[in-house]
Chain A
Amino acid sequence: MIRLEGVTKSFGDRTILDGLDLHIERGEVFALMGRSGTGKSITLKHMVGLMKPDAGSVWIDGVNLATMDKRALKNLRRRFGYLFQSAALINWLDIEANVALPLREHTRMKPADIEERVRERLRWVRLVGDEHKLPSEISGGMKKRVGLARAIAMDPDIVLYDEPTSGLDPVTGRVIRNLIREVNERLGATSVMVTHDVLDAIEAADRIGFLFDGKVEEICTPDGLRDAKSERVRNFVQGHIAE
């Protein structure tokens, strides 16, 4: 479904991704883990074409993003949902308008149908009754849930999550993790989540990839984490669990 081949990305003389290879299967929830600043979010932005690799290629359903013109890329992006770390809600639109935005811009749905879809998505993320609040009037956890509702408004095939639980209390974090699994099952989507929180990966992911020195060091299942071959991966996971 999503394949990155030899992706290299540098900023100035600092190489962030160094020949990264990664293959994500259709329908799975894949967690990409690593320490802060290892290029997890940058990897995610390559998948949606927000960044272009200096070398290597990114393939979605067998199509190389580099060969796509603007229109094709735009059409492809309609298949994506993306939850930003900061939720990135449009600050002057209320919750309902934020979730409805992609539907109003890209579909010919009737206003009543849009309203129904928005209410359904907000029900999924347990946010009924706050539709007319502005992003500045809601908490960080609520913003993430609105961001998630917006990301899945168009029934995307692929949902990308950038640090979905960072800055949230443990209870809200668990709510978001459960939502990620739930959304994946309801939509039959493929999900990629970047996180530095092992709990996110254990509770929500089918497979977990570890990013070190610009490459994927190892891929494990949540159950196989403690038996990882790489010492760096074991140390990373144990460090987190010890914390």
Chain B
Amino acid sequence: MTRWLDSLGRGIVGYCAAAGDTILLALRALGHIDGALRKFPEILGHMYAYGIRTLPVTAVVGLFFGAILALQTGLALDLYGQVEVVGIVVTAGMCREMGPFIAALVLSSTVGSGMAAEIGTMKVSEEVDALEIMAIDPVRFLVMPRLVALMLVCPILTILVDFLGVVGGLVVAVTQLGVSQHVYLEQAIEALRYERTFWEWPKDVYTGLAKAVVFGFTIGAVGLAAGMRASGGALGVGRAVRNAVVNCLLLIIIFSYYLTWAFYG
């Protein structure tokens, strides 16, 4: 019993320490944000790598998710003779919730884990120590450019997922639900007209993009912090990657709820 409590206590303390490390690292990276302009060519390189690496899978997932959303909601709406509004449901659903969520999901499982592995390998092979000895701040040199790149890439991928999701929904609406293309698109545009604030921007779009920025920041902070904490060779790097993916997914779900609540609650 004592041993069990001891290991539970150690686990909780370890988890809290890791969370604290992640928050501190993220804050330190934000403290170097003024250097982002100087590092912009490097940031662009990271954006290109992260965006291109995840583009095919993001596009496929976005397209099929829109199709699933249209089919599921369309069949239910058809029972009440309301199938024409499927365009509204798909567009609002994708822009508000599923677009940023899918982009973040794909990024955390590909880029987040990749970052943890890359930085973790650098940590265990003393490359991070080498930077410190050369008086080069690893947070400014390694963390900040990657974090900024992810904060910019996630909204871009979100726009792509939103668009492809609506297209996937259109295909299903026209071919399987008997909704005309004209009606679907009219409803989709109506969904974006529903509420316009913040310089007349569709609220569903900008809240979705704001979520995407937060998700990009979260994935970067969690993945990079997991890498920076890695120790003990290949085993430690593997552990860092696993922790990064699990924590990213958990935080994205939790943050998604609270952000929706903050914007619409």
Residue pair B135, A84 in contact (C-beta under 8 Å): no
Q: Which residue of A lies closest to B121 (CB)?
A: A91
Q: Which residue of A lies closest to B132 (CB)?
A: A50
Q: Report Cα–Cα, A102/B127, bound state, in Å.
A: 13
Q: Which residues of A contact B141 (CB under 8 A)?
A: 105
Least Cβ–Cβ distance between B88 and chain A, in angstroms: 47
Q: Report Cα–Cα, A77/B137, bound state, in Å.
A: 12
Q: Which residue of A lies closest to B141 (CB)?
A: A105
1/0 per residue, CB under 8 A from A, across B113-140: the answer is 0000000011001110111111110000
Q: Report Cα–Cα, A89/B131, bound state, in Å.
A: 9
Q: Which residues of A contact B136 (CB under 8 A)?
A: 101-102, 105-106
Q: Is A234 an interface residue (CB 8 A)?
A: no
Residue pair B134, A88 in contact (C-beta under 8 Å): no
Residue pair B133, A80 in contact (C-beta under 8 Å): yes
Residue pair A90, B135 in contact (C-beta under 8 Å): no
Least Cβ–Cβ distance between B42 and chain A, in angstroms: 11
Q: Is A23 an interface residue (CB 8 A)?
A: no
Which residues between 81 and 107 of chain A lie within 8 Å of chain B, taking CB atoms?
Answer: 82, 84-86, 88-91, 101-102, 105-106
Chain B residues within 8 Å of chain A by Cβ, number: 14
Q: Report Cα–Cα, A74/B137, bound state, in Å.
A: 9
Point out the residue from B125, B131, B133, B135 that lies within 8 Å of A75, measured CB to CB.
B135
Residue pair B126, A77 in contact (C-beta under 8 Å): no
Residue pair B127, A50 in contact (C-beta under 8 Å): no
Which residues of A pack against B, CB within 8 Å? 45, 48, 50, 74-75, 77-78, 80, 82, 84-86, 88-91, 101-102, 105-106, 150
- What are 27 A-B pairs at a CB distance below 8 A? A45-B129, A48-B133, A50-B129, A50-B132, A75-B135, A77-B132, A77-B133, A77-B134, A78-B135, A82-B133, A85-B126, A86-B125, A88-B127, A90-B122, A90-B127, A90-B130, A91-B125, A101-B134, A101-B136, A102-B134, A102-B135, A102-B136, A105-B134, A105-B136, A105-B141, A106-B136, A150-B134
